[in-house]
Amino acid sequence: MFSLFRKKKKFFSKEENHFIVKAIRQAEKSTSGEVRVFVESHCSWMDAIDRAAEIFFLLKMEKTDQRNAVLVYIAIKDRQLAVYGDEGIHHQVGSEYWNNLVQEMLASFNRNNYAKGIAECVIQVGDALKTNFPYNSDTDKNELPDEIVFGR
């Protein structure tokens, strides 16, 4: 029988998915900052950083109290990625920091270590957030979900 619904392809195994979500939770443990990971197949007709910015605002990540959210964006089949930080954290670390993260993630990806590369990037983002936006038990709350967001 022909089905109108296609089964959505899984980008990661259950273990890899858990590994990345665990990294997000670890990264956010000692900061008021927020980290999200968005994965899709294609980034057609658009630069990865522009697509990351578009997704960042679609996910309403700019609504964090201290403007310290970071999106790790990956288009698997197009082999494109970007790390996009809101104005609060970007002002603290600058463009060179994001570019270095992307280069390190690409090195892992070139060894087919996608989950590891993403998790390591997330941990490094968490370290930068911890330095610039330390955890405050009186005011901190988890403002954004920790699960990976999968696009088309």
The structural domains of the chain, with segments of one domain joined by +, span: 24-129
Indicate whether this model's pTM tops 0.85. yes
What's the CATH fold of domain 24-129?
A: Diaminopimelate Epimerase; Chain A, domain 1 (3.10.310)
Q: What is the pLDDT of residue 7?
A: 45
Q: What is the pLDDT of residue 2?
A: 47
Pairs from 45-50 (Cβ < 8 Å, separation ≥ 24):
48/73, 48/75, 48/80, 48/81, 48/82, 49/82, 49/84
Has residue 19 got a pLDDT over 50?
yes
Q: Whose CA is closest to 65, among 147, 139, 151?
A: 139
Q: What is the pLDDT of residue 122?
A: 97
- In this prediction, residue 9 has a pLDDT band, given cuts at 50, 70 and 90, of low
Q: Tell me: the pLDDT tens digits for 95-136?
A: 999 999 999 999 988 888 899 999 999 999 999 999 999 998
Q: Tell me: the pLDDT tens digits for 39-75?
A: 999 987 889 999 999 999 999 999 999 999 999 999 9
Q: What is the pLDDT of residue 141?
A: 85
- A 10 A CB-CB count for 12 gives 17
